[in-house]
Chain A
């Protein structure tokens, strides 16, 4: 009963439906590309380069004659995996840090964690990526680390901010009276009450991760050839934009729609999970 009403409420949240559908399409594309793509993208076919969309090549071909749809599918795989790992790094490290800071509010640990956060915020993720690539050379792993590091303070701040008011609630006091330790209370009472927020922020960071990966790959600091990536497809299309605009349009729309889908899904989830926000009409 409870599950059924949740589902029907979810279906009534229009942005959630649109968002999840868009995200699903790209996730599916990425999954299918693991076993099958319309064309083999490692084979170059210069003879049929830069074809406009047709029945054979739905999105046309690029300057090496590769099928753009196949490139987009594998690119989705790259984007999604980079973003998922980066969000994972942010959550796994950031949430415990934030919870610990909230549990010992005003203590030395809190101070160190929050000042450390401020510091990471002072380095835009791209600067971190630049420093990492300047030292270790560009690669997908370094891009993931650069985006992931920036996610840590986001999740640490969010969980600290959400945990602090919970710590003053009477149910936490009751748990303390029952002799539970700060760690146990954080795991049992605080974390379950902030999961909604974490899920919503997770989708937003996921979409930011996709944008960041595209940006890094565009300037050559991210995924390296020959692995296809939407950002690099755009970089390669730049000089050809006046002769073959579809080379730039297709990957651009892929990024736009994926990010839009994730953002809509995040907004929809927030409305669905937090009735207070739904009432405020945001």
Chain B
């Protein structure tokens, strides 16, 4: 008998259909991966199981958890099941914990609301659950508050809360998306271990095919509220039939065509750059501590090259980006573009543009596209002519008519094209891509990478690609730098670094990054 049986589940929110006749079975101890891009309804499927749905949602069909239909269950019955029969892990560990309660209180609460045990016993069992999630009491006592823990540690607390009562089913909704690759690998390892030890079933929701292929027994692929493909994980690549699945696979392993146009002339030179920040005082009269976000970093970019700068969050890559753009001062060292200092020379600043990560936050929502795209002309002391705007939009695959629209009328991928158009319009020589494709769904990401590759050939552009995502650098960068704790710890040609990393940290990063293993001889 299955632990979870979903039959013909349909869901609409305020009349808008979100899920259409979803059916799914999960057997005891089985791991089911649900994969889909944003808006595919994968998270809503998970929330339907616990009936934690947003206001205005209506469900039809049957969601049976251990034989109990959750859709028709009363609120009291639901409360009885939640946390006890089924645990849930969420995407955002930074906000999933109550900031004003200790981790002990929050884990013990799961036990206290379901079992008539004493406080002391609940806390003892909470400590056990935390230890099981690799948060041992000697280093992470129950009295810690969430803000004293890192993102990965907080996610472990959330997992401890979910498994404290050893539920038969664990639902994990993108549990590693907000984490760095090495932390992601650790959390995935932990989940795998827990599932095996307690013989739990798990519903694992993700947008990243590579994350689940090793973990899941069964895979379901969702698109626009429907399950379009469902089969055993090991057979997926061989047996996939739906064009969407094939496209998803192709996009995940996509490699843009790229000729290596790198030359020998140096365009950007970063020399011994150090940027420190003052930290708040720890004791009342102690000296003010400081922190070197970027510590004596030196590197060069050749004209026409695409250089990837890889590092996990907090390694200093964003600080370095701002320093290169001349936005923040540096305490030591020099950054020059074609020999001009980026902090003083307007000429150097004119030759650089930037594309940011968030396609939603990169634009002033109150301006039309023509004004947004033309903004860099401020530097040249004039405004863009209509033909220049049309040309910029055309070169990124948009239509000239689009300039009359506002930014909210575009999709995420189109917005990123507009961001690239804005970067291109004054014909810069260097474009800094600050996590420029990280927020995009895989299929859109593949298109943007192709576009960037074409543009670099067409306009002779040099790219500095800053990212945490190794699969992106591997597909497009000619050379990579690995940054850690403010320092460049490894550099070399992309293939060479991936094949034979020089330091253990790089090998760890590569090993931690989920990669799709080609099923056939090669792809």
Contact = CB atoms under 8 A, between A and B. Distances in A.
Nearest to A179: B379
A193 B363 CA distance: 12
Q: Which of B325, B327, B375 has the most CB of A within 10 A?
A: B375
Contacts of A179: 346, 349-350, 378-379
A171 B364 contact: yes
A217 B492 CA distance: 78
A192 B327 contact: no
B135 interface: no
Nearest to A193: B366
Nearest to A169: B361
A192 B366 CA distance: 7
Specify which of A170, A174, A177 lies most central, judged by the most chain B CB atoms within 10 Å of its CB.
A177
Q: How large is the interface on B (under 10, 10 to 19, 20 to 34, 35 or more residues)?
A: 20 to 34
Given A193-B364, A193-B365, A170 B356 contact: yes
A12 interface: no
A233 B220 CA distance: 75
A175 B327 CA distance: 11
Contact of A173 (B349, B350, B356, B377): B356
A178 interface: yes
Contacts of A171: 361-364
Given A179-B349, A179-B378, A174 B365 contact: no
B361 A180 contact: no
B490 interface: no
A63 interface: no
B283 to A, nearest CB: 21
Contacts of A175: 375
Interface in B313-361: 325, 327, 346, 349-350, 352-354, 356-358, 361
A171 B375 CA distance: 10
Contacts of B375: 174-175, 178
B354 A173 contact: yes
Interface in A160-206: 169-171, 173-180, 189, 192-193
A192 B363 CA distance: 13
B417 interface: no
B523 to A, nearest CB: 35
Contacts of A169: 361-362
Nearest to B371: A188
A178 B376 contact: yes
Contacts of B356: 170, 173-174
A193 B366 CA distance: 7
Contacts of A189: 364
A140 to B, nearest CB: 38
B168 interface: no
Contacts of B325: 176-177
Contacts of A176: 325, 327
B376 A177 contact: yes
A35 to B, nearest CB: 40
A167 to B, nearest CB: 12
A169, A175, A192, most chain B CB atoms within 10 A: A169
14 contacts: A169-B362, A170-B357, A171-B362, A171-B363, A173-B356, A174-B362, A177-B354, A178-B376, A178-B379, A179-B350, A179-B378, A189-B364, A192-B364, A192-B366
Interface of A: 169-171, 173-180, 189, 192-193
Given A177-B349, A192-B366, A193-B366, 4 more contacts: A170-B361, A174-B422, A176-B325, A178-B376
The 10 closest A-B pairs by CB, nearest first: A170-B356, A170-B362, A179-B379, A178-B378, A178-B376, A170-B361, A171-B364, A169-B361, A192-B366, A178-B375
